[in-house]
């Protein structure tokens, strides 16, 4: 995922924030989330037509928007918003979701969970 080349329907700022949120999450929580069964769709899923607007299909990372994860369990992740509020993201079926990087696959970091882009 390249910061200077946003996916369709993402502004440059939204895309750059998504990449930064993804880097922060993967650095701190990727291993724990994988052990708890969180899939790439749970983390990076978006609606194929309205990726920035359909919250019912959105995975955790696109929802973060500058927030930071502070706790993870099998069914939820708790994030602290920029203003300090705590929000709980409930893991739910991702029917109809596509991965946010669907057209820009670079490499896979977690075998068996499908391709994941390079966020560096």
Which of 28-32, 43-47, 90-94 is predicted least confidently? 90-94
Look at residue 17 in the predicted model and tell me its pLDDT: 94
Going by pLDDT thresholds of 50, 70 and 90, the confidence category of residue 92 is: confident
Say how many C-beta atoms besides its own lie within 10 A of residue 107's C-beta. 8
Would you kindly state where each structural domain of the chain is located, as residue ranges? Answer: 12-98
Look at residue 50 in the predicted model and tell me its pLDDT: 86
**What is the tens place of the pLDDT at every residue in 35-79?**
999 999 999 999 888 888 888 889 999 999 999 999 999 999 999
Task: Write the secondary structure of the chain as one string of H (helix), E (strand) and C (coil).
Answer: CCCCCCCCCCCHHHHHHHHHHHHHHHHHHHHHHHHCCCCHHHHHEECCCCCCCCCCCCCHHHHHCCCEEEEECCCEEEEECCCCCEEEEECCCCCCCEECCCCCCCECCCCCCCCECCCC
């Amino acid at each position: 995922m390249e910061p200077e080349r946003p996916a369709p329907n993402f502004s440059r700022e939204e895309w750059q924030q998504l990449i930064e949120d993804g880097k922060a999450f993967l650095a701190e929580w990727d291993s724990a989330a994988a052990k708890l069964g969180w899939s790439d769709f749970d983390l990076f899923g978006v609606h194929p037509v309205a990726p920035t607007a359909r919250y019912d299909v959105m995975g955790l990372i696109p929802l973060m928007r500058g927030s930071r994860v502070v706790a993870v369990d099998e069914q939820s992740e708790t994030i602290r918003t920029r203003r300090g509020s705590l929000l709980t993201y409930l893991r739910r079926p991702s029917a109809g979701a596509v991965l946010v990087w669907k057209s820009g696959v670079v490499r896979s970091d977690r075998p068996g969970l499908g391709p994941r882009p390079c966020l560096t």
